[in-house]
Amino acid sequence: MGVGGNIAVLPGKDGKLLIDSGYATARPQLTEALTTISPDSITHLVNTHWHFDHTDGNEWVHAAGATIIAHENCRTRLSTPQEIVAYKAKFPPSPAGAIPTLVFKTDDALKLNGANITLRHYAPAHTDTDISVYFAEANVLHTGDTFWNPIYPFIDYSTGGNIDGMILANKRNLEIANSDTIIIPGHGAVGNKAQLADFHEMLATIRDNVAKLKKEGKSLDETVAAKPTTAFDEKFGGSQRAATFIGYVYQGV
């Protein structure tokens, strides 16, 4: 665990493939970790979505030799000014070296280091730029920020995210995974299908609970006070984090 989103690495004769680049300030620690894995140079980087904590290292990883791959919406977001309203954070366009140069519209596939790798785009979920990355032979799935383990997630409505999309993305994640799949979330500990199923149940149940309260005419404050997350608070981050998450759900139902 460190700063930024979780990073996956596939080393081999074709060079290292990185999934997400984390914060630029973590370059010394990441460089040390990558050297420990193997002497292979970095040749490819996949961004799971546009957020700063997953793409801030793009420029130096590209300078080290990586071609950057992402969904076309991710390139658009990184190429233009962005704002995350919930965090009151504004971002200028990324430097030219940080912009993905290989992009795709729906799904894509890579063949690197003898591995078959599937890139799947999800309809707006955490953002409108989300993809997952599945390594078939290793049976490893990197979900990006469509899965937080076990944490109430952030949903970025200002760049296309919504609770219904998060639920659908996790349904797709569950369809990809089996009981042996190693699942790398965007944030939190590496998990498995049972934990992913718990996360999906949490999203769907709280979505329905909040929708019912909103339909009854309750305000956001009244909805938080009704504690629609109680059954999940101990596992997913407590009542304080739950209150923020309820706000995200309330916005989307």
- Contact between 239 and 224 under an 8 Å Cβ cutoff? The reply is no
Q: What is the pLDDT of residue 3?
A: 81
Token pair 């089996």 is found at 178
The reported pTM is 0.97
Task: Compute CA distances 156 → 50, 87, 152, 161, whole Å.
Answer: 11, 9, 13, 5
Q: Is there a contact between 132 and 141 (Cβ–Cβ < 8 Å)?
A: yes
Per-residue pLDDT tens digits of the chain, which is 253 residues long = 678 999 999 999 999 999 999 999 999 999 999 999 999 999 999 999 999 999 999 999 999 999 999 999 999 999 999 999 999 999 999 999 999 999 999 999 999 999 999 999 998 999 999 999 999 999 999 999 999 999 999 999 999 999 999 999 999 999 999 999 999 999 999 999 999 999 999 999 999 999 999 999 999 999 999 999 999 999 999 999 999 999 999 999 9
Cβ-based neighbours of 190, under 8 Å, separated by 6 or more: 6, 149, 182, 183, 184
CATH architecture of the domain covering 8-192: 4-Layer Sandwich (3.60)
How many other C-beta atoms are found inside a 10 Å radius of the C-beta of residue 227? 14
Helix, strand, or coil here: 232?
A: helix
- pLDDT at residue number 230: 97
Cβ proximity of 22 and 102 under 8 Å: no
Q: Which residue has the tokens 């030219």?
A: 96
**What confidence score (pLDDT) does residue 1 get?**
66
